[in-house]
Amino acid sequence: MGFSGTGKVWMNGSLVDWPDAKIHIASHIIHYGSGVFEGARCYQTPKVSAVFRLDAHMRRLYDSAKIYRMEYRVDRPALTEAVLETIRANALKACYIRPIIYRGYEALGVNPLPCPVDAAILVWEWGAYLGPDAAERGVDIKVSSWNRTAPNTFPALAKSVSNYASSALIKMEALLEGYAEGIALATDGYVSEGSGQNLFVVRDRTLYTAPLSGSILPGITRDSVITLARDLGYRVREEAIPREMLYVADEVFFAGTAVEIAPVRSIDKIPVGDGTRGPVTADIQRAFFGVINGEVPDRYGWLTYVYPEEAALRAPTAQPAADRR
């Protein structure tokens, strides 16, 4: 098996061994994509391991579940604590975190309502999503022939399993044609997002990114970039981006939990700027990696320490309140 996994998986309140973390083939999620999930990252900081924006991720998870009428019996604070418990149980210093809430086994009709709402939390070590050089050298991408879903079809604001059927089409097309990623346009023809990451375009030191109405997932990294960029004095505009703006941009970069911040060096074989990482992208990367690596003060309360007592011992100041809204 290519993916050996980790030690323990949290399933409905129990920590079970990775090979035993199974559900029945008749579970509703398998047939109808009735699940919502999150992807967060835990980083090793000089103090102790910390999860980046855990509260924001858990809020989006419960928002996604609400959109799909899934009420999980464990509330958000308790499931948030379960994430930390799962990291501790696996003794991982840095990892990717995947909580999932889904419809389980009861009935096999389309109607999900009779099926139980179950949840699991997986954690595993996951390095650079687009390869070890991506953060510095950038990636070559294409505009996908697939559009993102139209408004009022699949809800883009929900991080739903079903949305990733679209992502898989975009990703496979890009890979099979020799690109690292694909960018999808929305059905109105404006730039939406990558298969698993948001996109920023830089021109004349202004950052542009698609608005929430652009069939995008409201990325937590996107939100962090907007905050950090404004802090650094850049203008940020959330507005419709015409496709051709990609070809005349000074810089383009991806933002997402898996990809972190990765420059794009060409789109449809047209170099972005001079084809190397630009100064604005580098500036944003410095600010972002400074926070996640614990090298600069956590001004926004974005880090949730996995071992808070140990973190408190190593710092005279208390951990700031997390970014719960």
Give the separation between CA 270 and CA 137, rounded to whole angstroms.
16
Question: Among 248, 252, 192, 265, which Cα is nearest to 225's?
Answer: 252
Given candidates 6, 34, 198, 215, which one binds ligand PLP under the rule CB under 6 A?
198
The verdict on 167 binding ligand PLP (CB under 6 A) reads yes
Q: Cα–Cα distances in Å, from 249 out to 132, 194, 223, 224, 269?
A: 25, 17, 21, 21, 14
DSSP for 306-321, written as a single string: SSHHHHHHH-SSPPPP
| Active-site residue (options: 47, 142, 159, 171) | 159
Instruction: Name the amino acid, one letter, at 214.
Output: G
Write each residue from 267 to 296 as x if it is in contact with ligand PLP (CB under 6 A), else as -, in one continuous string.
------------------------------
Q: Kindly state the smallest distance separating residue 208's Cβ from ligand PLP, in Å.
A: 16
Give the separation between CA 139 and CA 253, rounded to whole angstroms.
9
Q: 240 to 259, contacts with ligand PLP by CB under 6 A?
A: 256-257
- Which C-beta is closer to ligand PLP: that of 8 or that of 222? 222
Q: 7 to 26, contacts with ligand PLP by CB under 6 A?
A: none
- Region of 16-24, 90-98, 190-198, 307-315 interacting with ligand PLP (CB under 6 A): 190-198
Residue with tokens 């129990």: 14
- Region of 80-88, 220-228, 234-242, 273-281 interacting with ligand PLP (CB under 6 A): 220-228
At 228, give phi and psi (nearest 5°): -65, -40
The verdict on 209 binding ligand PLP (CB under 6 A) reads no
Question: Among 61, 80, 81, 56, which Cα is nearest to 71's?
Answer: 61
Question: C-alpha 310: how far from its chain's center?
Answer: 27
Percentages (nearest 5) of helix, strand, coil residues in the chain: 30, 25, 45
- Which C-beta is closer to ligand PLP: that of 269 or that of 325? 325
Given candidates 35, 99, 219, 278, which one binds ligand PLP under the rule CB under 6 A?
219
Write each residue from 35 to 74 as x if it is in contact with ligand PLP (CB under 6 A), else as -, in one continuous string.
----x-----------------------------------
Q: Kindly state the smallest distance separating residue 39's Cβ from ligand PLP, in Å.
A: 5
- Region of 70-78, 110-118, 127-135, 193-201 interacting with ligand PLP (CB under 6 A): 193-201
The site that binds ligand PLP (CB under 6 A) totals a number of residues, namely 13
Give the separation between CA 171 and CA 127, rounded to whole angstroms.
18
Question: Three-state SS for 286?
Answer: helix
Q: Is 47 a catalytic residue?
A: no
Catalytic residues: 159
Binding positions for ligand PLP, rule: CB under 6 A = 39, 167, 193, 196-198, 217, 219-222, 256-257
